[in-house]
């Protein structure tokens, strides 16, 4: 699946369009960062 913000993709034929989509990104501090944050609170 190719995700683009344009109506065309050079060199590819569009077979199906899904319409508007959204995404969610969850970032973590890592184990050490979580321990330090817990100790500070």
Under a CB-based contact definition with an 8 Å cutoff, are residues 5 and 13 in contact? no
Q: pLDDT tens digits for 4-17?
A: 888 888 898 888 88
What CA–CA distance (Å, rounded) separates 38 from 41? Answer: 5
What CA–CA distance (Å, rounded) separates 17 from 20? Answer: 9
Q: Is the pLDDT of residue 41 over 80?
A: no
Task: Using pLDDT thresholds of 50, 70 and 90, give the confidence band for residue 34.
Answer: confident
pLDDT for res 17:
84
> Does the predicted model carry a pTM greater than 0.85?
no
Q: Is the pLDDT of residue 29 over 80?
A: no
């Amino acid at each position: 699946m190719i995700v683009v913000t344009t109506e065309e993709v050079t060199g590819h034929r569009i077979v199906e369009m899904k319409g508007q989509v959204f995404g969610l990104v969850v970032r973590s501090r890592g184990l050490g960062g979580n321990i330090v944050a817990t100790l500070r609170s």
